[in-house]
Amino acid sequence: MKNRITFVTKRSGTIVPFNHNRIINAIYRAAVAVGGRDKEKAEDLAEQVVKSLNEKFDEKATPHIENIQDTVEKVLIENGHAKVAKEYILYREESAKSRDEEGRMNSKLNENIPWAKVWRNLDWAVEHKLNTVNLLNERVASGEFAQIVHESEELYEDDVDLAAKIIIERLKNLKMVMISGPSSSGKTSTTVKLEQKLVKKGYKFKALNVDHYFFDLELHPKDEFGDYDFETPQALDLDLINEHLIKLSNGEEVMIPSYDFKTGTRTLNVTPMKVAQDELLLIDSLHGLYPDFSKGIPIDVKFKLYLEPLLQMKDADGKYIRWTDIRLTRRMLRDAAHRAYKPTQTLEHWHYVRASEMRNIIPYSKTADFIISSAMPYELPLYSHLLGKKFAEWENKYKGDPLKTDAFERASRLNNLFSDVSPVADNSPVPHDSVLREFIGGSSIVH
């Protein structure tokens, strides 16, 4: 049957072109979440969805996105894919809840926010006159940028020192340390710094590179634009990770796989690895707190660390600057420098990164043994210089594009922010081992 559906009505009322690949990707993503990886079956089911829509709507109709999602659920259930349907429905409900919460103030505190840490950071910000953009600008204008750098770095180092102290206190039972957090929270630098501090005290580590546990690229789910999704925990072979973590914690040898990012393929049983009795396993991963990542490991054997730039600063409109905006800006700079990604590519796809972390990373932050804030108030003046004027261009570029609404909103918000932050071009006061060097370049510990 020829497809008669050419346009779809979004929840906002905007009409956009119909793309059946989005249905394929949504079904396959739900299947992957429950352990399935049959792309041909996802394509077949998507065809049934399109057929059903054509039978229900004439060629002049513009079905609502809800009509399409209802049809997907119906087709999945009718074809005996109850688990996939459940996952699809769950994801749909979570997305609706997320949109609802974005559009209104919650009547209760968000349980995913580490409030104790937030209050501590807010108190520090007020004490150092860094709790508003205006106060930050005043200190920069007074020639205090280098001092702000020193104060910010000191606060972060205190966090890392305390994390190291807690780890040492628990060494009797510990076998591994997992460092987790959403994209561009500073995990790589913090992992190196934590290891350095513990090595100085005589402790030994072995690092496990979780990237080698990615499934072959062709098996990964895709996002709305057809790009492969490395952000979801299901992109990793979680069963093999668990098997290896259990063996390594028991002192057994395992054969680590090898992943080739150029070809998008994994080779099993490549590198032998064993953790000695006096060594700790060190794991830097987006999904270190995700339950299935280490479900076979006893709680007292693992120390879970979580990172987030918990900046406590209000913009010129009296609204707190969003942590996700800080991380987005960081990643735009890092992607452009190290991954040949244009900043606009990162910006356009950030809502997929955000959706994944809101579902698979941030809800588990409350299970962490310790939280480190990687926020540096001085990073805003540097970003204002590096990207500030660009956000005005991007806001104008995406304005009125129904397929780039999210990119427009983020560009607009960051344009408003950086237009009020006094730019600083000289980053020489920033230490070369700073977590910020991971993003602005010049790091002596991350390559």
Integer Cα distance of 257 and 240 in angstroms: 10
3.40.50.300, 3.40.50.11610, 3.20.20.10, 3.30.360.10: CATH of 115-440 = 3.40.50.300
Tokens of 187: 């995990």
The answer to whether 309 and 374 are in contact (CB under 8 A) is yes
Integer Cα distance of 91 and 74 in angstroms: 15
What pLDDT does residue 225 have? 61
What's the one-letter identity of residue 170?
R
What pLDDT does residue 239 have? 93
Burial of 102 (0-12, 13-18, 19+ CB in 10 A): exposed
For the question of whether the overall pTM of this predicted structure is more than 0.85, the answer is: no
At 205 the three-state DSSP class reads: strand
CATH 3.40.50.300 domain residues, the chain: 115-440
Dihedral angle at the C-alpha atoms of 159, 164, 169, 171, nearest 10 degrees?
150
Integer Cα distance of 422 and 382 in angstroms: 9
What pLDDT does residue 104 have? 43
What pLDDT does residue 295 have? 92
Phi, psi of 296 (to 5 degrees): -90, 5
What one-character-per-residue DSSP string does 122-166 give? HHHHHHTT-SBHHHHHHHHHTT-HHHHHHHHHHHHHHHHHHHHHH
What pLDDT does residue 194 have? 94
What's the one-letter identity of residue 304?
K
What one-character-per-residue DSSP string does 292-320 give? GGSTTS-GGGEEEEEEE-----B-TTSPB
What pLDDT does residue 106 have? 44
- How confident is the model over 378-400, as pLDDT tens digits? 999 999 999 999 999 999 999 99
Report CA Rg, the chain. 23
Per-10-residue mean pLDDT, the chain, length 447: 78 81 81 81 86 84 86 86 80 63 49 87 97 98 98 97 94 93 96 93 91 89 67 90 95 96 93 93 94 92 96 96 98 90 93 88 94 98 97 96 93 98 98 97 92
> How many of the other CB atoms lie within 10 Å of CB of 161?
13
Integer Cα distance of 357 and 94 in angstroms: 12
Segment (H or E) for 266? strand 265-273
Phi, psi of 117 (to 5 degrees): -70, -40
